[in-house]
């Protein structure tokens, strides 16, 4: 199975043939007009074969390769911009479990390709697959740049919105769970640079993922126990490519991944002097973000789901922070995508700035419960069906930019096709789980 979408390519590794990979490499070199491409990968064993093939394809297409090895996707983004390359490729399937792997494509500004550019790239890949370019007589060089993580960490440490010395004075004890993924080195390195005592778990890049890799509450039992056992101030968990961040409080309780962006917004809204104090997020992110923004004189602008949609909206306005409710924090002053390293720095500074524990800060965040359902449906024309759903219950507002979102007085439901899986997602949020379940079930049942 191969899924080509706004988010790039995801597939079972065996389904990505050498011809398929070289065609994508050649198409990407042509698309971005590259003379140099940055390439990095996560820790999946299949990544070694895929990376070798991608590098060969890039060189056959006439471009140099800057090989930064195993590192988080946000590091690939940062390195692309840092090295002034014309593009970057991160070899990862993000939070997908084994045997999935994939490709994420990055432009010269360190941003993911947008929907139009990805569509053009995918069409070009099919053309190149029919006729791959012949290798030049002299292949372009491979530049080994294994200091990419160091440069990325240094950039985060230079953020002028955080006070490094105040964080270091606290000497936080932090448990960090890399799920044996790409952030196994970068996470502890950043935290130690912030003066933290780090307890590293699942930080062996040579081992397989020890748990379901998505950093959701139900998958963080080991981290919860480690926080309690070590009497830590906080626990952080990331996904295999290190762009998503989840939090466990000092009592050993995993927070909803939605809380990560809300906590980051709390510190940015208090620290940044801006007329609008705009936070940009997608349509499926918690309404608690709106409440926090209102509290500090800010506003929330929403986009269709997809990281690049949030990034483009940040460019269009003067957003001080972007992100997604899956634990993704986009800090435009340091990187052009979701960055767990920047997220950890912001959240640790929030603890210092408010002089509170994680649980005390979480008590100040409005409480909502989000329910997420997946549906396998045979309905071919989903958009046509969604038009009928508006009549199920009269909403206060309707947003049809990405599937259909029905917004009520104190709840909402969003029905949309997934960008990364062959399913329909139904996401509902309300003050209680019962209300959210009832709201979600109403629409899930429609498709059965």
Catalytic sites, residue numbers: 94
Q: Say if CB 331 and CB 71 are below 8 A apart.
A: no
Q: What CA–CA distance (Å, rounded) separates 248 from 210?
A: 18
Residue 377 burial by CB count (10 A; 0-12/13-18/19+): exposed, middle or buried? middle
Its sign, for the CA torsion 29, 338, 344, 248, is negative
265-279 burial, b at 16+ Cβ within 10 Å, e below that, comes to: bbbbbebeeeeebbb
Q: Say if CB 323 and CB 314 are below 8 A apart.
A: no
173's CB contacts (< 8 A; 6+ apart) are 196, 197, 199, 230, 231, 232, 233
Q: What CA–CA distance (Å, rounded) separates 7 from 241?
A: 14
226-243 burial, b at 16+ Cβ within 10 Å, e below that, comes to: bbbebebbbbbbbbbbbb
């Amino acid at each position: 199975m191969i899924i080509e979408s706004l988010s790039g390519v995801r597939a079972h590794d065996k389904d990505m043939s050498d011809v398929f990979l070289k065609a994508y490499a050649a198409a990407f070199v042509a698309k971005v007009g590259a003379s140099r491409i940055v390439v990095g990968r996560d820790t999946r064993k299949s990544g070694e074969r895929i990376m070798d093939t991608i590098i060969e394809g890039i060189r056959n297409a006439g471009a140099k390769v800057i090989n930064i090895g195993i590192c988080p996707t946000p590091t690939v983004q940062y390195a692309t911009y840092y090295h002034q390359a014309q593009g970057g490729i991160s070899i990862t399937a993000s939070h997908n479990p084994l045997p999935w792997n994939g490709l994420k494509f990055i432009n010269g500004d360190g941003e993911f390709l947008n929907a139009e550019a990805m569509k053009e790239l995918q069409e070009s890949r099919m053309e190149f697959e029919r006729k791959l370019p012949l290798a030049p007589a002299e292949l372009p060089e491979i530049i080994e740049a294994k200091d990419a993580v160091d440069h990325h960490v240094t950039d985060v440490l230079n953020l002028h919105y955080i006070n490094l010395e105040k964080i270091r004075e606290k000497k936080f004890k932090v448990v960090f769970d890399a799920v044996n993924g790409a952030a196994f080195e970068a996470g502890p390195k950043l935290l130690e640079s912030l003066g933290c005592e780090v307890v590293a778990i699942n930080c062996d890049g040579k081992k397989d993922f020890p748990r379901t890799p998505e950093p959701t509450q139900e998958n963080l039992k080991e981290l919860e126990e480690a926080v309690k056992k070590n009497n830590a101030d906080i626990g952080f968990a990331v996904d295999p490519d290190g762009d998503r961040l989840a939090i466990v409080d000092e009592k050993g309780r995993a927070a909803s991944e939605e809380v990560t962006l809300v906590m980051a917004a709390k510190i940015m809204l208090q620290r940044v002097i801006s007329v609008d104090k705009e936070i940009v997020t997608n349509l499926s992110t918690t309404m608690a973000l709106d409440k926090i923004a209102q509290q500090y004189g800010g506003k929330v602008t929403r986009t269709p789901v997809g990281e690049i949609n949030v990034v483009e909206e940040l460019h269009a306005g003067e957003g001080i922070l972007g992100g997604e409710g899956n634990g993704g924090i986009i800090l435009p002053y340091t990187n052009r995508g979701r960055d767990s390293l920047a997220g950890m720095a912001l959240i640790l500074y929030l603890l210092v700035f408010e002089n509170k524990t994680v649980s005390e800060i979480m008590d100040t965040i409005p409480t909502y419960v989000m329910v997420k359902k997946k549906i396998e449906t045979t309905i071919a024309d989903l958009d046509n069906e969604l038009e009928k759903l508006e009549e199920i219950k009269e909403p206060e507002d309707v947003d049809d930019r990405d599937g259909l979102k029905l917004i009520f007085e104190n709840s909402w439901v969003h029905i949309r096709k997934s960008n990364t899986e062959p399913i329909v997602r139904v996401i509902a949020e309300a003050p209680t789980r019962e209300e959210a379940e009832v709201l979600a079930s109403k629409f899930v049942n429609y498709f059965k």
